[in-house]
Structure 1
Amino acid sequence: MADAKKWSDGSGLGIGVALGIVYGLLFDNLALGLPIGIAIGLAIDAGRKKKKDEE
């Protein structure tokens, strides 16, 4: 199951980009939604890495 863990290591960025696209389309401002989504995704990944390092 080690492959499953590797798959989820960078998934926060993908989730964040998807959320940013949805936000951008809902508010008709895709140029603002994408950077917000990328920031959210990087924050998710950093939080997961910090939690993993504490274990």
Structure 2
Amino acid sequence: MSIGMSFGLVFGLTLFDNIAMGLPLGMGIGIAIGASLDADAKNKGKTI
């Protein structure tokens, strides 16, 4: 989630000129990446 929030801050400052728009966007990106990595690990039978 921290990686997604850092990307969100960058996108928020460059595209929207507003940090408050970037933080939720980055949090969503981070949660999506984390969920996909968790699902991939579960399919491979690895413990999280």
| TM interval, short-chain normalised | 0.7 to 0.9
State the TM-score, normalizing by the size of structure 1. 0.73
For structure 2, list consecutive stretches of 5 or more residues without a partner in the other structure.
none
CA RMSD, aligned part only?
Answer: 0.7
Residue 51 of structure 1: CA displacement?
0.2
Selected match of 1:37 from 19, 23, 26:
26
Tell me the residue number matched to 2:3: 15
Moved over 2 A (4+): none
State the TM-score, normalizing by the size of structure 2. 0.83
For structure 1, list consecutive stretches of 5 or more residues without a partner in the other structure.
1-12
